[in-house]
């Protein structure tokens, strides 16, 4: 894919916050400083350096039973996780219960996009966590944060997520890179996981939490990932780029692409595909004309 020149508009979209809780009653004698207490109680983002991505049973036969998400969204989001892993050098483990059976082979995009991924074939175990080879690979990575996605959500994700959580891992479940037989099954799985302390997330959250900042040399590669799983946002980016091109050409009577420009009370107003934009003559930035 051709790299999109979108980094400047993404830089304005970063925001965040956190909550904290007070200490107990018997901490008076050894009460820590307020700043230290607050920092220790804050919810934290996961550490990409302590993370491994587990893609469970994304098998083409099972895909035909998924009803809670479109097949295109499921495959796209799963592929984005594989691309993210390669970009951020996060290890990936894939698995299938029986790829030669009716559940079918793994979707090929995963290993094409994450060629360093490790595949662990199972011997009929429904939960990947019951397979000693799979658990051995996860433990050997040294990572304590597991990001899981799979088909079905209520079985292939929930079972190993619960078991890994019980074994002391921090577990995130990527809901929109997983699929189930019905919306009811998906919701029941989500409820069960959250009650057990497993964190539900979306592909967007995982990409953003790994990226953290647009002030990085590979920012445009992250922008390409957003364009894949958020096509409506890609349209917004393209519209913005088109407006900027028109604004930069507004010094004369005609802007780029044949868009017309007129001066109104010291301002340049540009028409772009039926929209009228006020152009700052110094910076080239635009706002929508009221």
Residue 116 CA to residue 137 CA, distance in Å, equals 13
Q: Which burial class, exposed, middle or buried, applies to 24 when counting CB atoms under 10 A from its CB (0-12, 13-18, 19+)?
A: exposed
Tell me, yes or no, if 20 is annotated catalytic. Answer: no
Residue 258 CA to residue 251 CA, distance in Å, equals 13
Residues in the chain: 290
Q: State whether residue 279 is helix, strand or coil.
A: strand
**Residues in contact with 187: Cβ distance below 8 Å, sequence separation at least 6, in sequence order:** none
- Catalytic pick from 110, 146, 156, 223? 156
Strand-pair partners of 277: 270, 288
Any idea what the Cα angle at residue 137 is, between residues 132 and 141, rounded to 5°?
Answer: 145
Which strands make up the sheet holding 261-264, listed edge to edge?
A: 261-264, 267-272, 275-279, 286-288
Residue 73 CA to residue 76 CA, distance in Å, equals 5
End-to-end CA distance of the chain: 36
Cis geometry, peptide bond prior to residue 57 (ω within 30 degrees of 0): no
Which strands make up the sheet holding 199-201, listed edge to edge?
A: 118-121, 92-96, 51-56, 145-150, 170-174, 199-201
Paired tokens of 244: 């900027």
Could you give the C-alpha distances from 273 to 240, 256, 269, in angstroms and in order? 12, 12, 13
Nearest to 145 by CA among 172, 117, 173, 116: 172
Active-site annotation, residues: 156
């Amino acid at each position: 894919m051709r790299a999109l020149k979108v980094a400047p508009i993404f830089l304005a979209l970063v925001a965040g916050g956190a909550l904290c809780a007070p200490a107990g009653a018997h901490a008076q004698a050894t009460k820590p400083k307020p700043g230290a207490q607050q920092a220790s109680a804050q919810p934290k983002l996961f550490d990409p350096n302590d993370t491994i991505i587990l893609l469970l049973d994304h098998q083409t036969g099972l895909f035909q039973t998924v009803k809670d998400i479109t097949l295109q969204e499921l495959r796209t989001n799963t592929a984005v996780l594989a691309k993210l892993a390669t970009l951020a050098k996060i290890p990936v483990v894939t698995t299938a219960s029986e790829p030669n059976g009716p559940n079918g082979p793994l979707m090929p995009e995963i290993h094409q996009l994450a060629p360093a991924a490790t595949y662990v074939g199972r011997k009929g175990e429904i939960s990947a966590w019951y397979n000693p080879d799979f658990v051995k690979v996860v433990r050997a990575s040294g990572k304590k944060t597991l990001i899981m996605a799979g088909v079905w959500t209520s079985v292939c994700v929930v079972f190993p997520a619960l078991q890994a959580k019980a074994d002391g891992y921090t577990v995130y479940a990527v809901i929109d890179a997983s699929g189930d037989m019905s919306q009811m099954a998906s919701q029941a799985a989500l409820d069960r996981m959250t009650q057990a302390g497993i964190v539900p997330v979306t592909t967007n959250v995982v990409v953003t939490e790994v990226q953290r900042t647009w002030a990085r040399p590979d920012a445009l590669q992250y922008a390409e990932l957003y364009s894949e799983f958020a096509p409506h946002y890609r349209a917004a980016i393209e519209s913005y780029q088109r407006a900027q091109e028109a604004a930069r050409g507004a010094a004369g009577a005609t802007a780029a692409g044949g868009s017309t420009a007129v001066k109104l009370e010291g301002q340049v107003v540009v028409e772009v595909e039926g929209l009228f934009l006020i152009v700052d003559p110094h910076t080239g930035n635009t706002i929508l004309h009221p």
